Structure 1
Amino acid sequence: MTRYVPYSDIEIVQAILNRDKEITFNYLYKDCYPLFKTIFNKYYTDCNECVEFINEIYVVIITPRKESGRSPLSDFGLRCTFTMWLKLVAENHCRQLYKKRIKTSDEENSEMDDRLLSNRDSLDIDLTSINTMDVETILSLMHNQRYCQLIRLRYLEGKSNEETAEILGMTMANYYNKHKLAKEQLVSVLRKEGLL
């Protein structure tokens, strides 16, 4: 990761706290992009793009807590590098989002998690009954290419959930959530095309 020189960690923290647009952008959105992209790919988030995820983490670190009135960033204490601290904050945020989603899902009992549906491991749609060129056309209409790749690996190439998650570099928790969203997007495309 290239460092936004000539600033030290404490200077970068102060610049972000003071809403310095240039330093904030160069550090969070350029220098730390690979870090955030890795976390975005590995963990569950509600974000569609990595930049959206960075925006979310930015809000998390600068929003004052109700208890103390101080933001997490203003409490950064140089016990580790700022980059390491951001990594920990981002990963913890993703874990909390995932736990909250599972809890909400269990409480509302609205939909079963894919992990509980181990016997329903396939789409309700049989893609093998559709002409190969038509399937490729349908997949090209999916606006999220990562979802398209997941569907291709899982349903056209016949990879298992675990193999697909490994190829895409996802944890199983993230995979199950992305898998559900990918199926929803595919169903939406199939409906628009009159195939459902």
Structure 2
Amino acid sequence: MESTENNTAPTAQDHPLTVRVLHVADAVGEFIAWWGFKAIHGRIWALLALSSGPRAQAEVADLLGVSRALVSAAMHELHERGLVRPVGDSRQAPWVAVMDVWPVIADVLRQREWILIERARVTLEAAIEEAELLEAADEHIGFDLDRMRVLLNLTEMAQRFLRILVSLRVPRSIASLGDWLVKATGLLGSLRRLR
């Protein structure tokens, strides 16, 4: 007796490698979302980055199982950030990922993380100043001034590290990535010894 189940040919999404790549795209999307961005941006970028050639927006939407409108809007946002580019001038041109993502990462670090650390530093300095004034007037402050200074030093160290990180240029080729990682590991080791 023949099965009455749907006997259609497997789709591209069913191929074991495609399934694994889509899992990678999902993981990149989750990572990007953790940093406060849209998961779809990470999913699209990862899919394009791992593809052997350009992909049309409709194909990206089909592979990711999302609407074409969502892909179109996300692709526009990724293009504005310099993370993807069309291959050709037509509206239907396929897209590729821009592999040199470090400038975008550095911009985000400069624009967002620096501001957060700077806000913490400024508020700590104000708290220390107030505590020193109270201490000079022999008033009980109820807080540990030395710990405030330690926290300020940690904040300033984070700013120095961020400044170094933002000024680094990550290598464009995979071949030079190993050398870069060795240097970065050495830098981190040096920072650990500063403690």
> TM-score scaled to structure 1, two decimals?
0.27
Q: Which has the higher contact order (CA 8 A, sep 6+)?
A: 1
Is the radius of gyration larger for structure 1 or structure 2?
2
